[in-house]
Structure 1
Amino acid sequence: MAPTTRPVVIQGGMGVAVSSWQLAREVSMSGQLGVISGTAMDAVLSRRLQDGDPGGHMRRALAAFPSAEMAARVLDKYYIEGGRRPGTPYKPIPKLTLATARAGQELAVVGNFAEVWLAKEGHDGVVGINCLEKVQMATPTALLGAMLADVDYVLMGAGIPREIPRLLTDLSHGSVGRITADVLGGKITRHIEVDPVDLLGDDLPTLRRPEFLAIVSAEALANYLYRDPEIRPDGFVVEGPPAGGHSAPPRGKMQLDDHGEPIYGPRDDANLAKMVELGLPFWLAGAYGTPERVAEALDHGAAGVQVGTLFALSRDSGITDATRETMLEELRAGELEVKNDPLASPTGFPFKVASLEDTASEAETYEARPRLCDLSYLRTPYEKEDGEVGYRCPAEPVHMYLKKGGQEEATVGRKCLCNGLMANIGLGQERKDGYVEVRLVTLGQDLAGARELIGRYVEGWSARQAVDWLLTRVPASLVRQVQFA
C-alpha cells in the first residue's frame, strides 16, 4: 500500500544488516518508517543460508518470491541443512562489475527482496531501503529486489543520486533500469543496468514506484536536485556531520583537530529556511536522537527526523548480542567513544568508527589483518590503457592497488569496511588459514539520546521503546496508527 501520512521518525539505514528486517519491522509496526540496509544483501542472504537459515526466515521469504525457479537456484547453491561446520569458510559470491554475472544479479535481487518482504510481513506499516550512491554496481538489482517486495521508500546518500528517480520510474514500468557508471579516466559513457523482463520473464509482477528521499548534507545539493523534474526526489534527509557511517567532508580544505578528526564549522550546517522554501518534505539527521531535538526539527519546518544510533544499540538491530552488550557497558560507564576517521573508508568519505577492543578501530588489530579484497563492494571501476575496465580498492593489498595504477598514499589507513561490517552482524568470514574477520563498528557521534535511554532502560531497550520515547513531544495527530493483518 502507498504511504498515507508522512513518518515523523525514520530509522536510519545502517550498514550491512545492522538495519535488519527485524529492526525495520518493529519500527514500521510502531507507525514510523523502518528502513533496511540495501548494502551487501547478496552476501547476507548467502551466508544466512549457509548457516542453516536459523528460524527458517530466509526460506519463508524465498517461498514468496515471484519466480520460484530463481529462488530455487539460490537455495540450491547456498543452503546447508543444519549449517556449515565451524571454521568452514563461506562460499564466495559473484563480484559486482559493470555487468555483474547473471547468478550475481539473481542473488542480489532475491536477497533484497527477502529483507524487505520480511520487514513488511504481517502489517501495513511503511518500509524503506537505504543504499549508497558510491556502491553503484549494486544499485539497480538492489532496488529491483526491493520493489518486487513492494518497498515504500528508497533512501540514498554518499554521493549525488540524480539518476535514481528515473531508475525507479523505469523499473515500475517493467523497463530496463539503468544508471551511468562513474569510471575513473573513462573516455566513453558506460552504464549499469538490470532488465526485469529478462530476469523474471512471465513471473514479473506489476511494480509500484516507491518514493525517493535523497540524503544530502547541504541545501545547495538539495536545490540542484530540485530544479530539474527529471532528477527531483520526493523529499530529502538533511544529514549533519555527527550522523553515523559515512558523512560528507567539511566544505573547503580538509583540516583535522588534535584527535585527527575533520573540523566542521558553520558552513557545513544546512540552511533550513532554504530547505523549507523548496516545498518538499525533509527530515533532519545527525544529533536528532532526543524528544527535544525531534520537536525542534518540527519547529524548523521538517517532517521529522532520521535517527540511527538509538536503533543500532537497540535489542532489535542486527549487531551481535556480544557487541551490543560491550557498547552498552561502555555507555553505562560513560566511556563509549566514536571517532570520525577521515581515512578508514575506501570511498574517501569520513567514516564514524566506535572505539572498541578487538576491532579494527585499534591500530594493532588493524595492522594485524591481512589486506585482501574479496567482497569488493567498494571497488572503483577505472579505464585501463587498452580501454578495458578494471577494478581497484584502496583497502586491497597495496602492491595490487599500485599495479592497477592507484597511488600509495590512497592506501594509508584504509580499512576493509565490507568484511568488518559483515563481522558486526555475526557473518564474518572464517578463512582456511584460521584467520577470522574482525569487526568495524559504526555509530553516530551524538550519544545524548543513548545516554538518556540507558538511564531509563538499564539492561537496554527495544526499537519500539526508542520510538515511543522519541515521540513524547510530538502531537498525536502526526503519529500514524498501523493496522495489522
Structure 2
Amino acid sequence: MLRGAGPGPLRRPRVLAIVSLPALAAYLNRDEETRPDGSVVEGYSAGGHSAPPRGPLRLDERGDLVYGPRDAPDFTRMAALGLPFWIAGGQCGSDQVRRAGVAGAAGVQVGSVFALCEESGLEGGLRRELIERELAGELTVRNDPAASPTSFPFKVADLPGTLADAGTSAARNRVGDLGHLRTLYRTDRGAIGYRCPAEPAAAHVRKGGTLEEAEGRQCLCNGLLAAVGLGRRRPRGVVEPPVVTTGQDLGFLRHIAPDGGEYSAEAGVRRLSAGLVEEALAPV
C-alpha cells in the first residue's frame, strides 16, 4: 500500500472491473448490483486486449492503432469515485508506482515484467527472442485491430514463426476447436449454437456470421496455448503455431536484463519496489 494512495485501507477484492476510462467505472459504480470492489484502469499500451480508440479508426505505417488524448484516463475522476483502482500498462518500475500513488491509485497491475522472467510459463525460446529483439531495437508489438475474434484490439509481438508472421498464418489450417472465445447464437430452429470468427470462414458464415467478421482473425485459444508450450498436435506432425502478446513498453529490460540474460521474478519485484519500503517507513 502506498502512503496516501487510494480511498482508505484496502480489503481483498472479490470483483475488479477492467476499464479504460473513468466513464465506464462511473457507470458501473452507480448501481449496487454492478458496482465492483475496485477497478483496473488499463492503458492502451498494456498487453493482451485493450479498448479501441475513441473516434475514427486510424492505423499508422506499421498497422498499429493510433490513440489520442481522448483515450488517456483522467485519474482525478477515478479517485473521485471513492473506490480503489490500479493502473495498468507501462507500469514497470518504482517511478511508475510512485506516480500511481500520487494520482490516487491503490497500486499498479504489472504483466510484462513477469511474463518475461525465468519463472514465466512462456516458452523459453520465445521469451529469449523477445528479450533479444527488444534490446536490439528490432521488436515491434502492434495493437492489432483484427487479430482477436472478440473484435477488441489485441497486442501481437511480431516474431517469425508465430501467427504474426504472414507466411505462418497463411500456412495454418484454420481450426477453431477449443472454443474459449466463441459466442452464442440462435439457430434457425431456435436452438443455441456456437460460432467464432476465427474458425473456418465457411463454417462461420454457415452459422450466420459474415466473411467480414472472419477476415484477419487469429485463433487466440490455440495460439496462446502454443506460446506456453502446449500447442495442439495435428496430423502429419504439424504443431499449432504460437501467438505472443506482451505490453508495448518493454524499456524495463534495459535496466533489469541489459545483457539479454535471464532474470527472476524476484528481480522484477525489486525493480518495482526500489526505495518504496524506505519511503513508507520514513517519518512523516
How does the TM-score come out when normalised to structure 2? 0.91
Confirm or deny: 8 A CA contact 1:328 1:460 kept in the other structure: no
Q: What's the counterpart of residue 265 of structure 2?
A: 463
Confirm or deny: 8 A CA contact 2:131 2:253 kept in the other structure: no
Measure the CA separation in 2 of the matches of 1:379 and 1:433. Answer: 27
Which of 222, 230, 235 is matched with 1:432 structurally?
A: 235
Q: What's the counterpart of residue 474 of structure 1?
A: 276
Confirm or deny: 8 A CA contact 1:239 1:286 kept in the other structure: yes
Measure the CA separation in 1 of the matches of 2:280 and 2:155. Answer: 32
Shift of residue 476, structure 1, vs aligned partner: 4.2
Measure the CA separation in 2 of the matches of 1:459 and 1:402. Answer: 47
Unmatched segments (≥5 aa) in structure 1:
7-151, 154-209, 480-485
Confirm or deny: 8 A CA contact 2:132 2:260 kept in the other structure: no
Q: Aligned-residue CA RMSD in angstroms?
A: 1.9
Does residue 1:344 correspond to 2:151, yes or no?
no
Measure the CA separation in 2 of the matches of 1:320 and 1:339. Answer: 20
Does residue 1:211 correspond to 2:22, yes or no?
no
Which of 400, 406, 411 is matched with 2:209 structurally?
A: 406
Q: What's the counterpart of residue 230 of structure 1?
A: 33
Q: What's the counterpart of residue 174 of structure 2?
A: 371
Q: Which amino acid aligns with 1:463?
A: A
Measure the CA separation in 2 of the matches of 1:442 and 1:302. Answer: 26
Q: Which amino acid aligns with 2:173?
A: P
> Deviations 1:374-427 (Å, cap 9, x if unpaired)?
101111111122221111111111111111111101111100100010001111
Q: What's the counterpart of residue 328 of structure 1?
A: 131
- Secondary structure of the 1:326 match is helix
Q: How many residues align?
A: 274
Measure the CA separation in 2 of the matches of 1:450 and 1:217. Answer: 26
Confirm or deny: 8 A CA contact 2:135 2:253 kept in the other structure: no
Measure the CA separation in 1 of the matches of 2:203 and 2:184. Answer: 14
Q: Which amino acid aligns with 1:397?
A: P
Q: What's the counterpart of residue 110 of structure 2?
A: 307
Which structure carries more helix by proportion? 1
CA gap of 1:458–1:263, structure 2 versus 1, over 3 A, is closer
* Percent pairwise identity: 50
How does the TM-score come out when normalised to structure 1? 0.54
Q: Which amino acid aligns with 1:471?
A: S
Shift of residue 263, structure 1, vs aligned partner: 1.2
- Secondary structure of the 2:257 match is helix
Shift of residue 478, structure 1, vs aligned partner: 5.4
Q: Which amino acid aligns with 2:119?
A: D
CA gap of 1:229–1:478, structure 2 versus 1, over 3 A, is farther
Q: Which amino acid aligns with 1:341?
A: D
Q: Map residues 264-283 of structure 1 onto 2, 5 A cutoff.
A: 264-283=67-86
Confirm or deny: 8 A CA contact 2:256 2:267 kept in the other structure: no
Confirm or deny: 8 A CA contact 1:234 1:281 kept in the other structure: yes
Does residue 1:394 correspond to 2:212, yes or no?
no
Does residue 1:444 correspond to 2:240, yes or no?
no
Q: What's the counterpart of residue 37 of structure 1?
A: none
Measure the CA separation in 1 of the matches of 2:103 and 2:185. Answer: 43
Q: Map residues 3-402 of structure 1 onto 2, 5 A cutoff.
A: 211-402=14-205
Q: Which amino acid aligns with 1:282?
A: F
Q: Which amino acid aligns with 1:422?
A: L
Measure the CA separation in 2 of the matches of 1:245 and 1:256. Answer: 18
Unmatched segments (≥5 aa) in structure 2:
3-10
